[in-house]
Structure 1
Amino acid sequence: MKLIGVSLLLITTIIAKSQTTSYKFDFGINKAAKGYIAVTPTTTFSYKTGYGFDQGSEVQAIDRGGNALTGDYITSSKPFYFSVKLPDGNYDVKVMLGDTKGNSATTVRAECRRLMLENIRTDFGKLVTKTFTVHVKDSMIRDAKQAVISNVKLKPREGSYLHWDNLLTLEFNDSVPKVCAVEITPNKKATTIFLAGNSTVVDQSREPWAAWGQMIPRFFEPGTIAVANYAESGETMKAFARERRLEKIFSLSKPGDYLFIEFTHNDQKPGGNHLDPFTTYKQTIKEWVAGARKRGMTPVLVTSMHRRNFDSTGHIINTLADYPEAMRQTAAEEKVALIDLNAMSKTLFEAWGPEQSLRAFVHYAANTFPGQDKALADNTHFSPYGAYELARCVVKGMAEARLPIAKYLVKEKIAFDPAHPDAVESFYWPLSSFVTAVKPDGN
């Protein structure tokens, strides 16, 4: 069995090295434009071709005539998924959206519901080209010569995630999504922001759950920043390192990249993974900070947001003990940038109040979603709306900390006051195809 495992690792390495990393796809029904690969409704993903529609997508092609690239497109009344086999790394994805004889509205997410383009609308007869930068990952850890030396120890449920698999999976969604073309090129220059955290940070794979880490890519200008979310539900700092997730991050990092660290919810619990706030918790953070700096990375500490726990006067009760304060002290002692999400979340949650805050967390009546026969009442994990608002807090924190990467933020999204959050009625999130009633690990 050991020999078989080694052989599989070697084969994976060879495939990754020899694999094509740039593509130009023409979506539609007619002959592809020159230099493009034709993608029709029957182009189903296979590892042999390395691309195609995935996850049971049901699509149709519409031909408006005229230009080979812009005269036809792929659309669907449901979310549809397109996957491309790629080695891990950062990629710029350019999409051409619209209809020469109609209008369109398209939201694009990548991998596990990672928000890239938000409700892109085109007027009648108009087309628009948009670009975003996405991080693709697998679970193999490679040395400087790209030889596989180890792997991340994944949890069983991670086998169904739309990452860890050397595929870039794009989700096209919204009321009238219309896709004319997709181009993919490697981006070797973008600064990578690696996220290390738990279920409040992870790219949640299923509706109605979400976390701030999967919303953050939407707030950066294309081509400049790649957000690499390595957080996972239920993680502690001890487990994250033991499962080699931190080692994977360090193996991919380059000087100038960032490491955002946000842990507390699970580290505070009794057991083998427990860390004491002012001793082992601070020491572990300092070790990670040193590891990042050794590799030329910029560490950033993010205090954990509160749980939804109000007292009788509508004020938040702190359930995180001394951990946020311990992280603040560590940031000061190590001269590390701090994003105080803990403080901002208190302001945010109290601005919502006990009733309105229910909309920001996973609180839904029974039968709101398919297969959900019991009410969901989770005061730790967020709805897409709540995750989006917390992401806006993190963006605010980046700007206030004067991080160099703040210059790449989408300017109109920087200004945000947690005391005056966006109205939930103004938030738009077309549901993905994947739904679960099972709460993520951690609390």
Structure 2
Amino acid sequence: MTAAVLLAGAGLTVAVPAANAEPSNYRFDYGNGPVEKGYSGVSATDAYSADKRYGFNTPGHMADVPAKGTGAGSDAVRFLEFGTKSTNTFNVDLKEGLYKITVTLGDTSRASIAAEGVFQVMNMTGNGATDSFEIPVTDGQLNLLVTEGKAGTAFTLSSMEIEKVSRQPEMDRTIWVGGDSTVANYYPLASSVQGGWGQLLPQFVDPEAFDVRNMATGGQIARGFRNDGQLEAILQYIKPGDLFLLEMGINDTAAKNATTEAEFKEIMRDMVRQVAATGATPVLVTPQGRATDFADGVHSSVDRWYRHSTVALAQEENVPLVDLNVLSSTYFTEIGPAATLALFMTGDTLHPNRNGAAELARIVADDLARQGLLRGSV
């Protein structure tokens, strides 16, 4: 809402925001310590009110806690009740539109961010971890909480920034990524020693063409990704023009997860079909092998991780396939065993370090571009 003001002596009328105009941008500093300059302080006891336009829905389930960071990160609030469907949320009234949300955790081992009843960011790790995501708001209010990433740990929030990106509540074309620890994000995002190719993929995709949302988590299997909330979040937002890259199989083959190859294939088929029904494009990706899968100087791991079923499923469902298993083997053979091992975590032949994740991301992006699925890859 605006009000017209006549400037004395100038004969000019300008529109200025009314006193009760609803803000589009916020910076919140959580906890009961000093409030960082430029932020609005929010303690665990601050209940939502329509006049203030923000606050906790159930402050009785919140607690103020210290944090080891500095500035806005020197204190936090802890969510004592959580879960993607929990009503123990921090609520902010927002006009319809698309918003960028940046969250910084307090002292938290591993936690996920949920909003609007679904996951938004998966498994942020370490004290003071920071990440951001875009979300459409269509009902006049953002409802957010920090929720379980690792059972038995504290789920805390130090600060949050909200920036309005567009008046239209429509997300840009997005590449959604599902997978396991070889795909997942590691924190700090810009400097982590370990990396997943989903984390590094934005470096090889034109940001004007696609956003990238990585929903992969360590230890994940196909059944868990489908049933435990990650696919649900993607299905809430995915749309025609989007891509869904799905890499599974490494953990599915472990005996402890009790997933036969036939079961794995049908769970993957179900996810492919659910995504295809939205008009988006599912893309199956096979996992790379181990760094040590060399014989006579040639790297090959084609018989690992239920790869044959993934390849067959892509053919049966007529969906694109990025055979990262074979593509990465070609690259590893070119650079040799020693250089290949240098792309993995020390003492670990499965999990890539940051450089290795970047090479895998490059290979994925190149193959997507080759298949005409990317525009403006860099």
Q: Deviations over 1:83-132 (max 9, x none)?
A: xx999966499xxxxxxxxxxxxxxxx9999xxxxxxxxxxxxxxxxxxx
The correspondence for 1:337, drawn from 306, 320, 327, is 320
- Take 2:365 and 2:174, find their aligned partners in 1: how far apart are those partners? 16
Q: Distance in 2 between matches of 1:136 and 1:379?
A: 35
What are the within-5 Å matches in structure 2 for residues 34-433 of structure 1? Answer: 43=37, 48=42, 55-56=69-70, 91=100, 135-136=133-134, 154-156=149-151, 167=160, 185-186=165-166, 188-205=170-187, 207-271=192-256, 273-277=257-261, 279-311=262-294, 313-316=296-299, 318=301, 321=304, 323-363=306-346, 377-403=347-373, 406-410=374-378
Question: What CA distance in whole angstroms lies between the structure 2 residues aligned with 1:200 and 1:135?
Answer: 21
Query: 2:311 is paired with a residue of what secondary structure?
Result: helix
TM-score by length of 2: 0.61
Pairwise CA distance, 1:347: 1.3
Maintained 8 Å contact 2:243/2:282: yes
| CA positional deviation for 1:155 | 2.8
Change (3 A) 1:281 1:57: same
CA apart distance, 1:354:
2.1
Aligned in 2, Cα 1:294/1:159: closer, same or farther, shift over 3 Å?
A: farther
Q: Distance in 2 between matches of 1:143 and 1:284?
A: 32
Question: What are the Cα deviations for residues 369-405 of structure 1, in whole angstroms up to 9, with x where unaligned?
Answer: xxxxxxxx111111111111111001111012211xx
Percent identity over the alignment is 27
**Deviation (angstroms), 1:293:** 1.6
Q: Give the root-mean-square deviation of aligned CA atoms.
A: 4.4
How far off its partner does 1:336 sit?
Answer: 0.1
The C-alpha deviation readout for 1:327-358, integer Å capped at 9, x for no partner, is 11111110001111111111122223222223
Kindly provide the amino acid, as one letter, of the partner of residue 206 in structure 2.
E
- Assess, with a 3 A threshold, how the Cα gap between structure 1 residues 46 and 220 changes in structure 2: closer, same or farther: farther
Give 1:39's aligned residue: none
SS at match of 1:135: strand
Amino acid aligned to 1:185: V
> Whole-Å Cα distance in 1 between the matches of residues 22 and 196 of structure 2?
32
Contact 2:250 2:305 in 1 (8 A): no
Aligned-partner residue type, residue 393 of structure 1: I
Q: Which runs of 5+ in 1 are unaligned?
A: 1-17, 25-41, 59-84, 94-109, 114-133, 170-182, 364-376, 411-443
Tell me if structure 2 keeps the 8 A contact 1:210–1:384. Answer: yes
Q: CA deviation at 1:194?
A: 1.1
Q: Which runs of 5+ in 2 are unaligned?
A: 1-20, 28-35, 44-53, 55-67, 73-91, 103-120, 125-131
Contact 1:199 / 1:233 at 8 angstroms: preserved in 2? yes
What is the count of residue pairs matched by the alignment? 277
Deviation at 1:43, TM superposition (A): 3.4
Deviation string 1:141-192 (CA, Å, 9 cap, x unpaired) is x9999898x9986334996799xx99469xxxxxxxxxxxxx8624735111
Answer whether contact 2:292 2:341 (CA < 8 A) is retained.
no
- Please report how far the alpha carbon of residue 319 of structure 1 lies from its aligned counterpart in structure 2 after TM superposition: 7.9
TM-superposed CA distance for 1:315, in Å, is 2.8
| Cα contact 2:122–2:216 (8 A) shared by 1 | no
Cα distance in 1 for residues equivalent to 2:156 and 2:183: 15
Give the aligned partner of residue 437 of structure 1. none
Answer whether contact 1:360 1:382 (CA < 8 A) is retained: yes
Deviation at 1:241, TM superposition (A): 2.2
Deviations 1:301-339 (A, max 9, x none): 111111112445233352853611211111111000111
